[in-house]
């Protein structure tokens, strides 16, 4: 859980702890392996674009936290990724206008289109695994257009007379901004699709603490500070004073947040043995599913 970003979501008097876990992908590369990213010579990208693409994708892989990218070859390198095709485009859709309370608004949208093909191969494999990716989505915005002279508008009359903030300028700015946003979105979606093919997919489940008793305020404070180790120590201290089902259950939640699913399942089991609450049984079942997925990951 090196890149685990811990947040607490409060709902009424209850605290929900987000637990991150991963599920296997189509080609799950081994954790902490070094990869090299190569752009196919036949690609239509310029040399500068090829370099930028490799570095940007490498940064995305590093941020994901499963694989490690280095620009140069590494003695620890295990995988080679070859990008054969990478295209991103933005396509304008037909805009629309509407007038509300004497104000005219323009809604514009662009389709973000991304396509890529790539292969990945462990260095001791004879042939690579090929993937083709295609994605598209819509980005949109709504802006107010200046009214004719004399009509009410938040766009100043002086600005209109001086030729600034004109309808044409606003439309051009909106379209230019949306076109760029669409390209950024298309690139992000292709990168996300590439990661989802070769690294186990991140998932988040929010688990409710049992925090009704006064001595759980300290636990909530520790979790708010992201101090998971301190939370375990505190719960162990409470457990030494009295064996309580809520303490065992909360230990299960914290251990899941730490990524220790086997230990967490045992704590849920202990909680249920002390008090046969349905929530203990439900969380134990969920933990066992996450443990099963964890056991399939390539470490």
CATH code assigned at 180: 3.30.160.150
The answer to whether residue 154 sits within a structural domain is: no
The answer to whether residue 8 sits within a structural domain is: no
Indicate if 135 and 256 belong to the same structural domain. Answer: no
Hey, which residues does 77 pair with through a beta bridge?
34
226 φ/ψ angles, rounded to the nearest 5 degrees: 65, 20
Residue at token pair 């990661």: 195
Indicate if 257 and 282 belong to the same structural domain. Answer: yes
How much is the pLDDT for 272?
98
The answer to whether residue 5 sits within a structural domain is: no
- Provide the number of structural domains found in the chain: 2
- How far apart, in Å, are the Cα atoms of 289 and each of 1, 26, 273, 284, 295? 18, 19, 20, 9, 10
Indicate if 61 and 115 belong to the same structural domain. Answer: yes
Indicate if 56 and 178 belong to the same structural domain. Answer: yes
Indicate if 246 and 193 belong to the same structural domain. Answer: no
Question: What domain range is 121 assigned to?
Answer: 25-93+107-143+171-199
The answer to whether residue 16 sits within a structural domain is: no
Is the whole model's pTM more than 0.75, yes or no? yes
The answer to whether residue 2 sits within a structural domain is: no
Last residue of a domain, one of 199, 216, 238: 199
Residue 181 tokens read as: 């946003």
The answer to whether residue 193 sits within a structural domain is: yes
How much is the pLDDT for 75?
67
Residue at token pair 């046969």: 276
* Helix, strand, or coil (residue 81): strand
Indicate if 180 and 72 belong to the same structural domain. Answer: yes
The answer to whether residue 161 sits within a structural domain is: no
Which burial class, exposed, middle or buried, applies to 148 when counting CB atoms under 10 A from its CB (0-12, 13-18, 19+)? exposed
Indicate if 75 and 214 belong to the same structural domain. Answer: no
Ordered per-residue pLDDT tens for the chain, 299 residues: 433 434 443 334 579 999 999 999 999 899 999 999 999 988 888 999 999 999 999 999 999 999 999 876 666 778 999 999 999 999 999 999 999 998 999 999 999 999 999 999 999 999 999 999 999 999 999 999 987 544 444 444 445 444 555 889 999 999 999 999 999 999 999 999 999 999 999 999 999 999 999 999 999 999 999 999 999 999 999 999 999 999 999 999 999 999 999 999 999 999 999 999 999 999 999 999 999 999 999 99
Indicate if 111 and 233 belong to the same structural domain. Answer: no
Indicate if 73 and 116 belong to the same structural domain. Answer: yes
The answer to whether residue 244 sits within a structural domain is: yes
Estimate the crossing angle of helix 245-258 against helix 278-295, to 10 degrees: 20
Indicate if 193 and 117 belong to the same structural domain. Answer: yes
Could you give the CA distance from residue 246 to residue 274 in angstroms, rounded to a whole number?
9
CATH code assigned at 283: 1.25.40.10
Residues 120 and 129: beta-carbon distance below 8 Å = yes
Could you give the CA distance from residue 199 to residue 86 in angstroms, rounded to a whole number?
19
Could you give the CA distance from residue 61 to residue 192 in angstroms, rounded to a whole number?
9
How much is the pLDDT for 7?
43
Indicate if 228 and 279 belong to the same structural domain. Answer: yes
Indicate if 194 and 260 belong to the same structural domain. Answer: no
């Amino acid at each position: 859980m090196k890149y685990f970003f811990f947040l607490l979501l409060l709902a009424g008097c209850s605290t929900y702890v987000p637990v991150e876990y991963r599920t296997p992908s189509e080609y799950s590369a081994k954790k902490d392996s070094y990869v090299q990213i190569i752009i196919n010579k036949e690609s239509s990208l310029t040399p500068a674009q090829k370099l930028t693409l490799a570095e940007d994708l490498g940064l995305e892989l590093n941020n994901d936290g499963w694989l490690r990218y280095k620009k140069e070859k590494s003695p620890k390198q295990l995988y080679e990724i070859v990008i054969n095709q990478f295209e991103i485009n933005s396509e304008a859709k037909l805009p629309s206008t509407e007038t509300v309370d004497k104000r005219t608004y323009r809604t514009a949208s662009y389709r973000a289109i991304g396509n890529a093909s790539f292969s990945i191969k462990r260095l001791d494999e004879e042939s690579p695994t090929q993937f083709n990716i295609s994605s598209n989505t819509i980005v949109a915005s709504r802006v107010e257009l200046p009214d004719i002279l004399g009509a009410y508008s938040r766009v100043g009359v002086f600005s209109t007379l001086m030729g600034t903030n004109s309808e044409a300028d606003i439309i051009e700015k909106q379209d230019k901004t949306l076109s760029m946003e669409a390209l950024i979105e298309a690139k992000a979606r292709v990168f996300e699709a590439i990661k989802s093919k070769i690294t186990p997919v991140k998932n988040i489940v929010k688990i409710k603490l049992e925090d009704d008793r006064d001595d759980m305020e300290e636990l909530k404070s520790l979790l708010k500070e992201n101090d998971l180790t301190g939370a375990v120590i505190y719960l162990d201290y409470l457990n030494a004073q009295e064996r309580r089902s809520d303490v065992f259950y909360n230990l299960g939640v914290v251990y899941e947040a730490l990524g220790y699913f086997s230990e967490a399942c045992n704590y849920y089991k202990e909680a249920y043995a002390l008090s046969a609450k349905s929530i203990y049984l439900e969380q134990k079942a969920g933990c066992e599913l996450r443990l099963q997925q964890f056991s399939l990951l390539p470490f």
